[in-house]
């Protein structure tokens, strides 16, 4: 299953609609949306998504900076995805 993750900044008046439409067009069956800073690890929707991954799932993001702004966090997230037997694409 393709699982999308959309994030907009907490402080801006951003609309996740563009990301949501792009993720649906990419074939995502489920999309987790979050309003939080990309530089923070405290993102409950991301943690829920990572905890619910099944083997063979693919996590999809519209752009890498929507997932995180930190290389260290990116590697941690990718390790969690791999440990679940899932994949990743953007």
> Maximum CA pair distance of the chain?
36
Give me the number of domains the chain comprises.
1
What domain range is 47 assigned to?
2-89
Assign residue 81 the CATH number of its domain.
Answer: 3.40.50.1390
**Alpha-carbon dihedral angle through residues 46, 51, 52, 58, given to the nearest 10 degrees:** 70
Could you give the CA distance from residue 62 to residue 21 in angstroms, rounded to a whole number?
A: 10
Among 47-56, 61-70, 80-89, the minimum mean pLDDT is found in: 61-70
Separation of alpha carbons 45 and 35, rounded Å: 9
Answer yes or no: 70 catalytic. Answer: no
Angle ∠(3,81,69) on CA atoms, nearest 5: 85
Q: How sure is the predictor about 13, in pLDDT bands with cuts at 50, 70 and 90?
A: confident
Out of 1, 9, 14, 29, the active site residue is: 9
pLDDT digits (tens, 9 = 90+) for 16-32: 889 999 999 999 999 99
Q: Is 85 helix (H, G, I), strand (E, B) or coil?
A: coil
């Amino acid at each position: 299953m393709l699982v999308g993750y959309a994030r907009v900044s907490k402080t801006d008046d951003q609309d996740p609609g563009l990301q949501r439409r792009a993720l649906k067009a990419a074939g995502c069956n489920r999309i987790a949306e979050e309003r939080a800073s990309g530089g923070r690890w405290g993102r409950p929707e991301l943690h829920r998504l990572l905890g619910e991954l099944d083997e063979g799932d693919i996590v999809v993001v519209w752009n890498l900076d929507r997932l995180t702004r930190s290389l260290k966090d990116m590697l941690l997230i990718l390790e969690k995805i791999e440990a679940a037997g899932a994949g990743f694409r953007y």
